[in-house]
């Protein structure tokens, strides 16, 4: 392991020191005041704020959590009726939730704050000399790439799947100026610490926006770019989605519940469908809002939503110089903040069949693969079809740079 990295299969950094306890008290007071001022219901019975943004991913969470795809095709409402808000409580850095591979921690200082990034670094039994970096979405984690990690590793790729600062098992600072440039720099520093000089960068959902920014900042070190149902294919602000303040986002995030996550995911990501093997990812996210770090988790999420809304990447697609593979589920309707928009605005955003084609036209060296019946997370909804397209797309540019 390189300097600055440490392995923690179940990391529990010193979050609850005196300084952060003070912060928790202040954030708890803010949450209480916000609930009183805005009539917020208790988190266990509130709809998730995910209805305004991305929903969590689908799939399995290691052997102990895998649910057979054939086990159930019940709706999210049926799951909720069976006690859908019940579930485990996790720490603010997903303490207690097991990842499919050992988790390392990259320690670094950013904006004057000591931080750490969690990551999985999976080396194949028979290496083909290439590295793939998997960037998760807003309400996803490195763990949600489980099936993709295994398929790529079997094909000879070294796979690195980090959790970005503010997400999952990584630091959640009280104060941080989030930008896609900053997250790209953090990711680049992590890869440098692991001795990775160039890689294929794969970004899903919000990770797609980050992947584009990374590729623009580090074109020589980006062998290939892969965008999986990325958000940011349009500028929601320019299309009329109203601005929400960080305080607004925070109040919404405090209402996050398993029921709300489930309902949003079913309606927006999966065209009304639901499977039992999606449930572990619902619990992964909802568990952080049941745990002792609810306020700091919600606060970081609010800061991140503000970053996503205010920092479009769509205007710079023409500057991407590397081969780019677009893998787009056509049933996706994701658009940040659309529930806060007028009916007229909602009607014209989140149309992925149109957005994918426009992105392929704008990006100089793009290849578009469309999945007619899949939604926002094709890698989880139909892993076989997705990974076939991904592996073929990766092989098409092998050795070209």
Tens-of-pLDDT digits for all 401 residues of the chain? 444 444 443 333 333 333 343 344 444 444 333 333 333 333 332 333 443 444 333 333 333 333 222 233 345 555 444 456 789 999 999 999 999 999 999 999 999 999 999 999 999 999 999 999 999 999 899 999 999 999 999 999 999 999 999 999 999 999 999 999 999 999 999 999 999 999 999 999 999 999 999 999 999 999 999 999 999 999 999 999 999 999 999 999 999 999 999 998 888 888 788 999 999 999 999 999 999 999 999 999 999 999 999 999 999 999 999 999 999 999 999 999 999 999 999 999 999 999 999 999 999 999 999 999 999 999 999 999 999 999 999 999 975 44
The pairing of strands 199-204 and 131-135 is parallel
Alpha carbon distance 226, 376 (integer Å): 15
Percent of the residues in the chain that have a pLDDT greater than 90, as a whole number = 74
Residue 239 DSSP SS3: coil
Q: Which two tokens stand for residue 330?
A: 């056509």
CB neighbourhood size of 361 (10 A): 12
Which pLDDT does position 67 carry in this prediction?
A: 29
Cβ-contact 135, 119 below 8 angstroms: no
Strand order across the beta sheet in which 324-329 lies: 5-7, 104-110, 113-122, 158-162, 131-135, 199-204, 222-228, 324-329, 366-371
Distance from C-alpha of 345 to C-alpha of 241, rounded to nearest angstrom: 7
Q: What is the pLDDT of residue 73?
A: 39
Helical H runs in 105-179? 146-154
Number of other CB atoms surrounding residue 304 within 10 Å: 24
- Kindly report, residue by residue over 56-114, the tens digit of the pLDDT: 333 333 333 332 222 333 455 554 444 567 899 999 999 999 999 999 999 999 999 99
Specify the pLDDT at position 125.
Answer: 96
Give the CA distances from residue 182 to residues 31, 187, 294, in Å, rounded to whole numbers and listed in that order.
28, 9, 24
* Cβ contact 318:360 at 8 Å: no
């Amino acid at each position: 392991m390189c300097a600055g990295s440490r392995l923690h299969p179940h990391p529990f950094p010193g979050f609850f020191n005196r300084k952060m306890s003070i912060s928790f008290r202040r954030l708890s007071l803010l949450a209480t005041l916000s609930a009183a001022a805005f009539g917020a219901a208790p988190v266990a019975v509130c709809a998730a704020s995910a209805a305004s943004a991305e929903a969590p991913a689908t799939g399995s969470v290691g052997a102990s959590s895998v649910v057979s795809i054939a086990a159930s095709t019940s709706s999210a409402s049926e799951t909720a009726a069976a006690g859908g808000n019940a579930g485990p409580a996790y720490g603010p850095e997903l303490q207690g939730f097991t990842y499919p591979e050992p988790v390392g921690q990259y320690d670094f200082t950013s904006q004057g704050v000591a931080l750490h990034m969690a990551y999985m670094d999976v080396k194949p039994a028979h290496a083909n000399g290439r590295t793939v970096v998997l960037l998760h979405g807003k309400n996803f984690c490195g763990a949600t790439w489980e099936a993709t990690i295994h398929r790529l590793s079997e094909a000879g790729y070294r796979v690195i799947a980090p959790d970005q600062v503010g997400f999952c098992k990584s630091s959640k600072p009280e104060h941080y100026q989030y930008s896609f440039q900053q997250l790209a720099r953090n990711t680049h520093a992590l890869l440098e610490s692991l001795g990775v000089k160039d890689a294929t960068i794969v970004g899903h959902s919000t990770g797609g926006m980050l992947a584009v920014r990374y590729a623009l900042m580090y074109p020589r070190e980006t062998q290939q770019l892969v965008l999986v149902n990325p958000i940011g294919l349009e500028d929601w602000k320019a299309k009329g989605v109203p601005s929400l303040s960080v305080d607004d986002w925070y109040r919404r995030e405090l209402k996050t519940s398993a029921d709300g996550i489930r309902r949003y995911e079913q309606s927006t990501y999966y065209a009304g469908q639901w499977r039992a093997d999606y449930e572990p990812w619902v619990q992964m996210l909802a568990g952080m809002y049941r745990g002792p770090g609810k306020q700091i988790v919600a606060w970081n999420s609010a800061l991140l939503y503000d970053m996503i809304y205010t920092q479009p990447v769509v205007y710079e697609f023409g500057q991407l110089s590397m081969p780019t593979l677009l893998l787009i589920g056509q049933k996706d309707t994701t658009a940040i903040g659309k529930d806060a928009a007028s009916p007229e605005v909602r009607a014209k955003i989140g149309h992925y069949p149109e957005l994918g084609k426009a992105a392929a036209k704008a990006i100089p060296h793009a290849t578009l693969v469309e999945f007619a019946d899949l939604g926002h997370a094709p890698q989880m909804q139909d892993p076989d079809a997705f990974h076939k397209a991904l592996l073929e797309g990766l092989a098409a540019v092998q050795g070209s740079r």
